[in-house]
Structure 1
Amino acid sequence: MASDILLEVNGLTKHFPPVAFSRGPVVRAVEDVSFAIPRGQVVSLVGESGSGKTTVGRMVAHLIEPTAGSVRFDGVETTKLSRRELRRMHARVQYIFQDPFASLSPRMTIGEILTEGLDIQRVGTRAERQERAVAALTSVDLPPDAMARYAHEFSGGQRQRIGIARALALAPELIVADEPVSALDVSIQAQIVNLLRDLQVRLGLTMLFIAHDLAVVEYLADTVIVLYLGRVMEVAPSRQLYAAPRHPYTRALLSAVPSPDPTRRAARQLLKGDIPSPANPPSGCVFRTRCPFAVEPCAAGVPALREMAPGHFKACIRDDIDTA
């Protein structure tokens, strides 16, 4: 019997060495990140730029190698797969890139872009690959005649739909969506998020959705993981996180989200300063240099994730912070 957990990440860490011929420090992009994604659910990684979200996503999709930790996909440790086994895995794990302009080749027709992965994986006959490409296009509400056109002939929102269709063409079990709406106009963002939600429900997709804006993931994610400077600050079911955030960083992020509901309007909590460099992170709690509730013990050690309510974890030593 298949496990309910499709993806399991344990202690995932990524350190980038100094640039060649440089004596600079190691860049600690991700530190000891762990989470699991049940089949058919959406888990979202959120946080400011520089928090390590994309690095986690790329390690999950095996686009870059982790420094430490493990990634288990459908019960198999992916960091130990052979090249042939990795190619098969890539058919089951697809990536939607942030920039719809840079991620599509200007020299290839949309049909060639959509069938490229099918060709590499040797799926069916040429006619069958064409049929799957057309089906992927129509699933994202684009006409079949788009197959003969080039990326520059489409708007930004349409290009992102093509990027989604490319991921869907191989019928993956897991999709890593790396800030797929951040480069789009606000009105188009809602359309793409709604499309992803519809596809996820209709196809039973499992998804790791990466975003810096908590407003984008509220109605899409089942579980939200808040990252800061490569470390997990808070993990909770989506409704629970939005109703009662436990970590000061999450509260600050949520206070910046506009809400049409006046009963949910929280006082704005501005974060002081900029996010520190991952090449020189603060000691102890990495958020302490910007935290309005930081005390001396916060510098002493890295706080562990503690369960504050069923399924709701936070990495903070303070239990006396008002979370209303």
Structure 2
Amino acid sequence: MSAAPFLTVRDLAKHYVSRGTKLNILEGISFDIAKGEVVGLVGESGSGKTTIGRSVLRLVEPSSGSVEFDGTELTTLSAAQMRRTRPRMQYIFQDPFASLSPRMTIGEILTEGLKIQGIGTRKERMDRARNALVQVDLPAEAVNRYAHEFSGGQRQRIGIARALTLAPEFIVADEPVSALDVSIQAQVINLLRDLQQRLGLTMLFISHDLAVVEYICDRVIVLYLGRIMEIASSADLYARPQHPYTRALLSAIPSPDPDAPRNRQILKGDIPSPANPPSGCVFRTRCPVALEACAHTIPELREVSPGQFKACIRDDLN
């Protein structure tokens, strides 16, 4: 970790009101990301992963909290100031089919952000688009084609190229391979890993696939119902998970050895509604080792070993 984190998030919260009911999507989210680090964000659907990614980039406005990027507090920037900051922070969307306009050529899609930012001449912008396509292993001539002419994996490469045209330093990758065939996923993940290392990118990698996260991420944040359950390095998290929720998630990872012993921990029920979250620890209604005190105590995220944090009142889980 560097002395000063590249991205610092403190007490981030996001609330919505729907038909008079308050929905607590995020509450008390705090974490750091060092420059050049890849941090994974994992959890079940409905845990708030995408909301964190979009709130960090102010694609949705946080209800409260602080997001500091390279020493600049983003939540207080005006729209014009944020627009000037956006080239340094880019987003890779989950759905490669819905995120590319069918009415625009690939060249127009890739140069749109440059045009909005007033960067370069038309020729210079198109040169950057061609270069970005080559970086993601697509032909430069693809600038003249349309999205429907490409496969899902190729479209996601175009989505990655769109982010790269602005030469970002920080990328939020939101489930970038979940919509792709399994045979294509590894290719795109390897591409992202190569680009991250070659360009020195800092990345928040959102996924529900813990095997993918282990492969690409330096550290992992485990999220449940809008709260952080555990933060640790990938090595520590996968070798010595500390939170019951993390253990349940890891137990579901398929093993390449069908004869290997399994200790599958199946969570009962569904993730609760953010309109009616459990009292105390939000995970307690599905936790296999919950105590009576868990219904009355909101556990703080505390360091239980060097660099490893968990939000659980129990100290006897080994």
TM-score, with structure 1 as normaliser: 0.95
After TM superposition, the structure 1 = structure 2 runs for residues 1-324 of structure 1, keeping only pairs within 5 Å, are 4-18=4-18, 22-23=19-20, 25-260=21-256, 266-322=262-318
SS of the residue aligned with 2:216?
A: coil
Tell me the distance in 2 between the aligned counterparts of 1:61 and 1:263. Answer: 44
Tell me the distance in 1 between the aligned counterparts of 2:11 and 2:159. Answer: 30
Q: 1:225 to 1:265 in 2, by over 3 A?
A: farther
SS of the residue aligned with 1:8?
A: strand
Tell me the distance in 2 between the aligned counterparts of 1:103 and 1:138. Answer: 20
Tell me the alpha carbon deviations over residues 71-121 of structure 1, each in whole angstroms, 9 at most, x when there is no partner: 001111111112221111111100000100000000000000000001111
Segment drifting more, 98-107 vs 262-271? 262-271
Tell me the distance in 1 between the aligned counterparts of 2:135 and 2:261. Answer: 37
Q: Specify the code of the residue in structure 1 equivalent to 2:11.
A: G
Q: 1:261 to 1:74 in 2, by over 3 A?
A: farther
Q: Specify the code of the residue in structure 2 equivalent to 1:153.
A: E
**Structure 2: 5+ residue stretches without partners:** none
Tell me the distance in 1 between the aligned counterparts of 2:96 and 2:60. Answer: 21
Q: Specify the code of the residue in structure 1 equivalent to 2:96.
A: P
Tell me the distance in 2 between the aligned counterparts of 1:317 and 1:69. Answer: 25
Following TM superposition, the consecutive aligned residue runs of length 4 or more in structure 1 with deviations greater than 2 angstroms are 259-266
Tell me the distance in 2 between the aligned counterparts of 1:93 and 1:54. Answer: 15
Cα deviation, residue 266, structure 1? 4.0
Cα deviation, residue 261, structure 1? 6.0
Tell me the distance in 1 between the aligned counterparts of 2:65 and 2:285. Answer: 27
The number of residues matched between the two structures is: 317
Tell me the distance in 1 between the aligned counterparts of 2:152 and 2:24. Answer: 33
Tell me the alpha carbon deviations over residues 299-323 of structure 1, each in whole angstroms, 9 at most, x when there is no partner: 011101111110000011112123x
Tell me the distance in 1 between the aligned counterparts of 2:305 and 2:258. Answer: 26
Tell me the distance in 2 between the aligned counterparts of 1:169 and 1:76. Answer: 23
TM-score, with structure 2 as normaliser: 0.97
Tell me the distance in 1 between the aligned counterparts of 2:124 and 2:193. Answer: 27
Cα deviation, residue 262, structure 1? 7.9
Tell me the distance in 1 between the aligned counterparts of 2:275 and 2:262. Answer: 33
SS of the residue aligned with 1:190?
A: helix
Q: Specify the code of the residue in structure 2 equivalent to 1:95.
A: Y
Q: 1:310 to 1:263 in 2, by over 3 A?
A: farther
Cα deviation, residue 216, structure 1? 1.4
RMSD: 1.4
Q: Does the aligned pair in 2 maintain the 1:95–1:175 contact within 8 Å?
A: yes
Q: Does the aligned pair in 2 maintain the 1:107–1:150 contact within 8 Å?
A: yes
Tell me the distance in 2 between the aligned counterparts of 1:264 and 1:210. Answer: 29
Q: Specify the code of the residue in structure 1 equivalent to 2:170.
A: L
Segment drifting more, 272-281 vs 181-190? 181-190
Q: 1:299 to 1:141 in 2, by over 3 A?
A: same
Tell me the distance in 2 between the aligned counterparts of 1:205 and 1:99. Answer: 22
